[in-house]
Structures are given as structure tokens and as C-alpha cells.
């Protein structure tokens, strides 16, 4: 009797899981895992530090490496190096896939360089492909360390996937890396019936953080405040510091033609877009 074929072990490595916060990178990872599970060809693991405690994965394994006194900010993620490497040593993956630009990318590259493993780094934003401009702040040293470890990941990843040709060009110009492939973000074809009507809706869909510059969309809404039958809608979890959140909330409230819906399920987002 023939022995069953050994499945390839794929390990997704990202600081956050979509059960905790759903951003673009987490959504794309969720769609990828769906496809990998459906193929039946892989043992799939997701190593992370932020996952909803009650979440129960189906068809794959989630490993939470968060420690009681672990880092709270993105710039401190290099402090997760030991628990992350410990998890990878226990899993012994054939392929690591990561879709974020932070110290986890470099830590994963360090592991793959020494353990007959491949790292696929998938660019999650244009900022991943640009030289970092460090701002003077109290946490400048840990952010500098995190960035340098991330850049090690860029230069040592086995394969790199970009979302756009522009990102591929920036990676070549700034880091001397050729991308393996350019793959646009994937999304199931929406099933909703499109029915446009009044008022005309202008919709923002993205988590609110400094990188996304939500204040520009708010300013756009205020510029059209005197136009009838025009409604602006913002969808996405509010991130960043409490002070920044308070400022953005105040700006939103100053535009009476703007609704902020906060974090919203994908089904409701699709319904609003339709």
C-alpha cells in the first residue's frame, strides 16, 4: 500500500490576524488561505501575535506567539524574534508567506536562510517599497531597528510579489530587487445587484490611519457640503493614537454630509458599494 503523499507546509507569518483587525493585508491572507484549503494540498499554519481569543480556525492552525509583556507598537515587533523563531522551528515549514513590511519579514528571512525553507514576501503597500524617513520621536531607536530588520527581509526574501508595476519599479530602484510576479489584489466577484440611486454616494473603504490620509477625504466632503443629494461615507476601523483618533473624529463630526460607519463586515461593505 502506497504511503500518503506528504503535504507541503505553508506558514503565513503576520503580526495580526483578521479576527483581531481586518485590514487589506489580512483580508488578502484570508482569501489566500481559503484557496489553499480548497486545494487540499497543504498543511497551513498562521503564526501571529494578535488574534481574537475565541477564534476557531477551520482547515488550518493558528499559533499565537504573543507574550504578556510583548511589544504593543509596530516599531517594537523585533522583540518577537525569539517566540517567532521558536514557532517556526516547531512547525518546520517548507514555505513562509508574509504580506506586511515589518521586522517579521526579516525574522522570517533569517529563518529561511538557515533551514532549507523559502520565503515569499508579498508587498502590502507602496510604503514597503520606499526608503524609510525616520521621524524624531521617543521610539526612534526601536523603529530604526525594526526597519533595518525589515530591509534585511527585502534583500533576502526568496520570492517577492508586488501588487503593481509601480511597486516593482520602486523595489528595483530602491533595493535592487526584481519581483517574481506582479499580482493585483484578489477579491471574490460580488454577488450583489448594482442599483444606483439618490442620494449619490461617495464611499471610502479603508482603516483610518495616518498613512491613508483620511483628512483629505473629510476635506473633500466639506467642499461639497452645499451640494444636495450627495452623501459621503467612511468605512473602516479607526487606528493610531487616542489623540489622533479624537482629532479625526472631530473632523468627521464637522461635516454633516459625512457618515462614519466604523469597522464593517465585508458583506455590508459590498452591499453599500452595490
Residue 59: domain span:
8-182
Q: Determine the angle formed by the axes of helices 165-175 and 140-156, rounding to 10 degrees.
A: 100
- Tens of pLDDT along 55-108? 999 999 999 998 766 666 666 899 999 999 999 999 999 999 999 899 999 999
Same domain, 17 and 153: yes
Residue 267's pLDDT band (cuts 50, 70, 90): confident
The whole-number pLDDT of residue 261 equals 95
Residue 23's pLDDT band (cuts 50, 70, 90): confident
| Boundary residue ending a domain (182, 211, 244) | 182
- How confident is the model over 149-156, as a mean pLDDT? 96
Q: Is residue 190 part of a domain?
A: no
Same domain, 96 and 204: no
The whole-number pLDDT of residue 109 equals 97
- Tell me what percent of the residues of the chain surpass a pLDDT of 70: 95
Please provide the distance, in angstroms rounded to a whole number, between the alpha carbons at the two ends of the chain.
Answer: 54
pLDDT tops 60 at residue 155: yes
Helix spans in the chain (H): 24-39, 81-91, 103-114, 140-156, 165-175, 214-223, 242-253, 266-273
- Tens of pLDDT along 194-221? 888 889 999 999 989 898 999 999 999 9
Taking the C-alpha atoms of residue 236 and residue 96, their distance in angstroms, rounded to an integer, is 29
- The strand pair at 61-64 and 95-98 is best described as unpaired
Q: Across-strand partners of 162? A: 182
- How confident is the model over 155-168, as a mean pLDDT? 96
Residue 232's pLDDT band (cuts 50, 70, 90): very high
Same domain, 38 and 139: yes
pLDDT tops 60 at residue 182: yes
Q: Is residue 1 part of a domain?
A: no
The whole-number pLDDT of residue 195 equals 87
Taking the C-alpha atoms of residue 153 and residue 99, their distance in angstroms, rounded to an integer, is 12
The whole-number pLDDT of residue 4 equals 61
pLDDT tops 60 at residue 163: yes
Same domain, 156 and 207: no
Residue 1's pLDDT band (cuts 50, 70, 90): low
Cell reading at 7: 503535504
CATH number of the domain encompassing residue 255: 3.40.50.2000
The total domain count for the chain is: 2
Same domain, 161 and 28: yes
Same domain, 150 and 227: no
The whole-number pLDDT of residue 67 equals 74
Same domain, 40 and 154: yes
Residue 179's pLDDT band (cuts 50, 70, 90): very high
pLDDT tops 90 at residue 266: no
| Boundary residue ending a domain (182, 212, 233) | 182
Q: Is residue 48 part of a domain?
A: yes
**Residue 197 φ/ψ region, left for φ over 0, alpha for ψ in the -120 to 50 degree band, beta for the rest:** beta
Amino acid at each position: 500500500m502506497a504511503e500518503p503523499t506528504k503535504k507541503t507546509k505553508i506558514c503565513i507569518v503576520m503580526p495580526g490576524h483578521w479576527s483581531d483587525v481586518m485590514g487589506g493585508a489580512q483580508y488578502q491572507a484570508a482569501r489566500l488561505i481559503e484557496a489553499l484549503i480548497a486545494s487540499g494540498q497543504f498543511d497551513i499554519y498562521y503564526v501571529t501575535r494578535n488574534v481574537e481569543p475565541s477564534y476557531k480556525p477551520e482547515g488550518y492552525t493558528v499559533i499565537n506567539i504573543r507574550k504578556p509583556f510583548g511589544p504593543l507598537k509596530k516599531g517594537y515587533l523585533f522583540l518577537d524574534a525569539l517566540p517567532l523563531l521558536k514557532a517556526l522551528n516547531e512547525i518546520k515549514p517548507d514555505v513562509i508567506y508574509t504580506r506586511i513590511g515589518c521586522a517579521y519579514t526579516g525574522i522570517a528571512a533569517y529563518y529561511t536562510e538557515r533551514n532549507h525553507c523559502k520565503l515569499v514576501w508579498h508587498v502590502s503597500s507602496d510604503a514597503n517599497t520606499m526608503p524609510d524617513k525616520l521621524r524624531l520621536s521617543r521610539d526612534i531607536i526601536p523603529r530604526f531597528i525594526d526597519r533595518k530588520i525589515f530591509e534585511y527581509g527585502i534583500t533576502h526574501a526568496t520570492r517577492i510579489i508586488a501588487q503593481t508595476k509601480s511597486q516593482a519599479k520602486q523595489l528595483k530602484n530602491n533595493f535592487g530587487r526584481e519581483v517574481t510576479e506582479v499580482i493585483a489584489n484578489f477579491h471574490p466577484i460580488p454577488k450583489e445587484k448594482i442599483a444606483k440611486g439618490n442620494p449619490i454616494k461617495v464611499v471610502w473603504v479603508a482603516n483610518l490611519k495616518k498613512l491613508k490620509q483620511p483628512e483629505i477625504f473629510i476635506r473633500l466632503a466639506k467642499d461639497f457640503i452645499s451640494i444636495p443629494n450627495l452623501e459621503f461615507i467612511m468605512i473602516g476601523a479607526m487606528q493610531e493614537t487616542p489623540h489622533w483618533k479624537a482629532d479625526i473624529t472631530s473632523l468627521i463630526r464637522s461635516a454633516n454630509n459625512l457618515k462614519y460607519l466604523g469597522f464593517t463586515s465585508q458583506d455590508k461593505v459590498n452591499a453599500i458599494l452595490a
